Amino acid sequence: MSATDDSLPMRIPVVDFSSWNDPRDQTARMRVAQELVEACQRVGFVYIINHSLPESFLDEAFAWTKRLFDLPEEVKMKAPHPPGWAVHRGYSPPGFEKVSQSLSTGDDDEIKRKMRQIPDVKEVYDIGSEENTDQPNQWIPEELFPGFRAFMNKFYWECNRVGDSVLRALAVGLNLDDESYLAKQHSGYENHIRLLHYMPIAAEELEKERATRCGAHTDWSSITMLFQDDCGGLEVEDISRPGTFVPVEPVKNAIVMNVGDLLQRWSNDRLRSTNHRVRLPPLADRFEGPNRMTRDRYSIPYFMTTDRETVIECIPSCTNENEPPKYRPIKQVDYTRMRASMMYEK
C-alpha cells in the first residue's frame, strides 16, 4: 500500500488476507496486519479478499436473504421487531427504523420527529446469538420458513471465526504484545447480523430527498464486516474532504470491513469510524424501466461487538505522554443503549 495523491479521489484499500492465515510466514502476517491498520487509519474502510469464507457459502446467505424478503408480509410479521429500542431483533418493515447519527440528549424527541419526515426505504431482519438472553432472537416459525434458522446460526458463527482473525490482525498492526488483546473481549455472543433489503424506488425520489435508503452514519460496533450484492449504492465519506462521499463498488466475495465507534474510542482515534450511507447505485445498469427505478439491493452487515461488561478504555499502544486518552472509559452496554435509543420510537 503506497502513499496517495491528495488531489485524487479517495480509494478504498484492498488487503489480501491469505497470508494472515499462514502461521509459517510471520513476516507476511505482519505485512497484512500493517496494511489493515493503515487502511483503518487513512480511510476507515477496507476490502478484505481471500478471507476463507467460501463463495458458495456467501451465495447461500444471499439466497436465504432474498427468500426471506420475498415472503408475504404477514409471514415476516410472525417475527416482529419488539416495540421500542431495548431489543434489537426480528423483522422491521419499511419506515419502522430511522438510522441516526445524533447523540443529543436535550432535544431527542424533536430530532427524531424531524428525521422521520424522510423515511428510510428498506426492510430489515436482525439476528444475534441464540445464547444472548438479553437480546432474544425473533424467528419466523420453522414450519413457515424451514431451514432459515439453522443456516443463519451457522452463518453467524462462521462470520465470527473470520472476524476473530481480523481483530487479531488489528492487534498485531497496533503493536500490541498480545495478539488476542481485542479478540478475547469478543466472545461472539454480542455480535449482530442484519439482513437488509432496499426495495426499488424511483431515482428522482432519492435525488430530491423525498426518501432515503440509509442516511449518513457511523456504526456502533468494534468492526463491521459487510457482504453486498452487485447492485451498489454504498458510499463512504472522504476523510480529507468532509461532506464528499465516494462509492464502495461491489467486489465479488470481498468483505467490506469498517471500524466502528467503539474501536475508534478504544484506539484513541487512531483508527477511523467513518461516515457512510446508501444512496443511488453509481452505474446505469443498476436501474430498471423508463422511470429509472433502482434495482433491489441486498446486503448483510455483521457487527462485531465486545461483551456487555467490557470497559472501553484506551488501548495501551495508542497512548503516550504526548497523546493522553481522549475519552472516558465506558461500558459497551451503556454505549450501545445510548445509540439504540435514538434509532426507534419509544
Please report, for the domain that includes residue 145, its CATH number.
2.60.120.330
pLDDT of residue 7: 61
Sort strands 14-16 and 45-49 into parallel, antiparallel or unpaired.
parallel
State how far the alpha carbon of 294 is from the alpha carbons of 121, 165, 232, 233, in Å.
Answer: 12, 36, 10, 10
Residue type, 171: A
- Helix and strand numbers (H, E) in the chain are 8, 16
Determine contact, residues 143/151, Cβ cutoff 8 Å. no
State how far the alpha carbon of 67 is from the alpha carbons of 122, 144, 158, 275, 344, in Å.
Answer: 16, 12, 21, 30, 26
114 CB-side CA count, 13 A: 6
Instruction: Confirm whether 1 is domain-assigned.
Output: no
pLDDT of residue 105: 41
Instruction: Confirm whether 5 is domain-assigned.
Output: no
Helix axes 148-173, 26-42, angle to 10 degrees: 100
Provide the phi-psi class of 277: left if phi over 0, else alpha when psi is between -120 and 50, else beta.
Answer: beta
Instruction: Confirm whether 210 is domain-assigned.
Output: yes
Determine contact, residues 122/201, Cβ cutoff 8 Å. no
Instruction: Confirm whether 77 is domain-assigned.
Output: yes
208 CB-side CA count, 13 A: 6
pLDDT of residue 101: 44
pTM above 0.75, yes or no: yes
How far out from the chain centre does Cα 56 lie? 22
SS3 312: strand
The DSSP code for 150 is H
C-alpha angle with apex 288: 286 to 290, nearest 5 degrees?
A: 130
167 CB-side CA count, 13 A: 27
Instruction: Confirm whether 8 is domain-assigned.
Output: no
Which three cell numbers mark 146?
424451514
Find the distance separating the first CA and the last CA of the chain, reported in whole Å: 46
Instruction: Confirm whether 283 is domain-assigned.
Output: yes
Instruction: Confirm whether 7 is domain-assigned.
Output: no
Instruction: Confirm whether 131 is domain-assigned.
Output: yes
Report how many domains make up the chain: 1
Q: How far apart are CA 21 and CA 311, in angstroms?
A: 29
Sequential pLDDT tens for the chain (346 residues): 444 455 667 899 999 999 998 888 999 999 999 999 999 999 999 999 999 999 999 999 999 999 999 999 999 999 999 988 788 899 999 876 655 444 444 445 554 454 455 667 899 999 999 999 999 999 999 999 999 999 999 999 999 999 999 999 999 999 999 999 999 999 999 999 999 999 998 888 888 888 888 888 999 899 999 999 999 999 999 988 999 999 999 999 999 999 999 999 999 999 999 999 998 888 777 788 778 888 999 999 999 999 999 999 999 999 998 999 999 999 998 988 877 776 554 4
What is 153-222 written as a DSSP string?
A: HHHHHHHHHHHHHHHHHHHHHTT-S-TTTTGGG--STT-EEEEEEE---BHHHHHTTS-BSEEEE--SSS
Q: Could you list the residue range(s) of the whole structural domain that residue 118 is in? A: 14-343
* Residues paired with 219 in a beta bridge: none
